Amino acid sequence: EAGVVQSPRYKIIEKKQPVAFWCNPISGHNTLYWYRQNLGQGPELLIRYENEEAVDDSQLPKDRFSAERLKGVDSTLKIQPAELGDSAVYLCASSLGRGENIQYFGAGTRLSVL
């Protein structure tokens, strides 16, 4: 069974440029998470989806970040415009949902904003 797939693995952009990350969760997993992980820190939740509904986006900087999960499967996280402080690893995770909350992580996207 395929795990959580993320792309790209690495992205280097200049500040003020837009960037997008893509995630394909484990088949059958209803819950999808986007996290940001800074060096030496644990993952911090940006947004959580239950199927196609964003149920927790309280930590998402909505002035520059946006996300969508069309048809309740794949998801895209976008930053526009990127700032230097956005450099981090962006992790996508999925879980079965319906009370089962063990999360499985993708390989992540390492973003460097120059």
Partner 1 sequence: QKEVEQNSGPLSVPEGAIASLNCTYSDRVSQSFFWYRQYSGKSPELIMSIYSNGDKEDGRFTAQLNKASQYVSLLIRDSQPSDSATYLCAVNNGGGFKTIFGAGTRLFVKA
The binder of partner 1 chosen from 19, 21, 24, 43 (CB under 8 A): 43
Binding to partner 1 by CB under 8 A, coded x per residue (else -) over 13-42, reads ------------------x--------xxx
State phi, psi for 37 to the nearest 5 degrees.
Answer: -125, 115
Compare residues 71 and 98 and give the one whose CB is closer to partner 1.
Answer: 98
How many CA atoms lie within 13 Å of 27's alpha carbon, on the beta-carbon side? Answer: 2
Q: Report d(CA 18, CA 14) in Å as an integer.
A: 9
- Binder of partner 1 out of 14, 44, 68, 83 (CB under 8 A): 44
